[in-house]
């Protein structure tokens, strides 16, 4: 088998306003029964949010390199577990940035296996400075994200 021309990791793709990221369940993701450990769903959701931003044109490293560096912190994460994912499953993380309210980004996410919903998340993330204080996102970031929001920022 020959090496593919592009060996960079996949950041998924967009279908409309929803970002899709495929993930595979590995042995390390599971407990002794072969079921995904509950805390790993938060990891899958994090990857979906990060790759959404990357593909929308927002890069974490660039935010940290600004004159006024900033980052994101999750302030609320509500998970609803619907079914178990198991070793070797191919999952799809669906991410939709819904709106921006002041310093907060409201995000809806779902993990599916085929047509089966595995887990759903309601996420609130806040923009923060390196001092940990909450702050409004830069206008350039809001402008970059606005076309991707299901409910544009007021």
Question: What are the CA-CA distances from residue 109 to residues 32, 64, 115, 144 (Å)?
Answer: 27, 25, 15, 20
Residue 131 has phi, psi (to 5 degrees) of -85, -5
Q: Element (H or E) spanning 110, and its range?
A: strand 104-113
- Cβ burial of 78 (10 Å; 0-12, 13-18, 19+) is exposed
SS3 at position 23 = strand
d(CA 99, CA 74): 15
Among residues 29, 31, 67, 131, the one annotated as catalytic is 31
31 is catalytic: yes
The residues assigned a catalytic role are: 31
């Amino acid at each position: 088998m020959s090496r593919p021309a592009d060996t960079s990791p996949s950041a998924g793709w967009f279908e409309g306003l929803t970002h899709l990221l495929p993930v595979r369940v590995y042995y390390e993701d599971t407990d002794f029964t072969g079921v995904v450990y509950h805390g790993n769903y938060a990891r899958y959701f994090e990857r979906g949010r990060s790759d959404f931003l990357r593909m929308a044109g927002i890069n974490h490293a660039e935010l940290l390199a600004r004159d006024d560096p900033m980052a994101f912190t999750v302030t609320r994460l509500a998970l609803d577990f619907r079914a178990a994912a198991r070793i070797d499953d191919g999952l799809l993380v669906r991410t939709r940035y819904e709106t921006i309210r002041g310093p907060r980004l409201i995000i809806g996410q779902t993990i599916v296996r085929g047509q089966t919903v595995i887990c759903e998340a309601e996420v609130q993330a806040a923009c923060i400075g390196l001092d940990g204080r909450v702050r409004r996102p830069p206008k350039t970031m809001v402008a970059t994200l606005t076309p991707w929001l299901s409910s544009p920022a007021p």
